Chain A
Amino acid sequence: RKEVEQDPGPFNVPEGATVAFNCTYSNSASQSFFWYRQDCRKEPKLLMSVYSSGNEDGRFTAQLNRASQYISLLIRDSKLSDSATYLCVVNEDQFYFGTGTSLTVIP
């Protein structure tokens, strides 16, 4: 059973593009949801928590759909520095990480 599933990509997009990632989770009792980014051989860094009402932080927008059990992340106006792996994380009794979606922003 895969608790958290993500499309591994890779997503290769030009600078300035809008890109969206989705993530599905299997346990409807999951409590908290997050997006992290991870650069190569570095630690995961919290990007944003995901709330039922949806939330936005600058160019990043996260949405949670509990009925369909998926989480999304939208990145607008992509920058070269957005190139990373984006990890979907779901908290039940413990924290479950997706395998990550790789994004490369091309000049």
Chain B
Amino acid sequence: EPEVTQTPSHQVTQMGQEVILRCVPISNHLYFYWYRQILGQKVEFLVSFYNNEISEKSEIFDDQFSVERPDGSNFTLKIRSTKLEDSAMYFCASNAGSSSYEQYFGPGTRLTVT
């Protein structure tokens, strides 16, 4: 069964550093998403991406964040100048588009900023 994959599973970085989180969505899916979940809190939408551009973004997704689809398979989230409060689980998701909004999530990357 096709699945969304994410790398790395755990990333530790120092405050102020830049990190890139990687995702490979399901191959025939058209819409891609990033979410974050701070420990013990709810899943929060960051950004959606379609047709090589951002389609929606939340208030959380400020200039510190950027997304890219550098090739036909990868979808990345870059976080610049990381802060302690960026520590969270980051989930990538994708859906097939058309009339379906059912999203399938990757296993997540646990980001720890020290």
Q: Which residues of A contact B (CB under 8 A)?
A: 31-32, 34, 38, 41-46, 49, 87, 91, 93-100
Contact = CB atoms under 8 A, between A and B. Distances in A.
B104 to A, nearest CB: 7
Interface residues of B, number: 20
B56 interface: yes
User: Could you say which of B43, B89, B102, B108 has the most chain A C-beta atoms within 10 Å of its C-beta?
Assistant: B43
A86 to B, nearest CB: 12
B103 A99 contact: no
Nearest to B33: A95
B4 to A, nearest CB: 8
Given A49-B102, A93-B56, A94-B48, A42 B107 contact: yes
Q: Name the residue among A42, A43, A94, A100 with the largest chain B CB count within 10 angstroms.
A: A43
Contact of B45 (A44, A87, A94): A94
B59 to A, nearest CB: 10
A87 B37 CA distance: 13
B25 interface: no
Given A91-B101, A93-B56, A43 B91 contact: yes
Q: Which residue among A41, A45, A100 has the maximum number of chain B CB atoms within 10 Å of its CB?
A: A41
Which of B44, B56, B101, B108 has the most chain A CB within a 10 Å cutoff?
A: B101
Contacts of A87: 42-43
Contacts of B42: 87, 97-100
A95 B107 contact: no
A94 B56 contact: yes
B101 A32 contact: yes
A11 B26 CA distance: 34
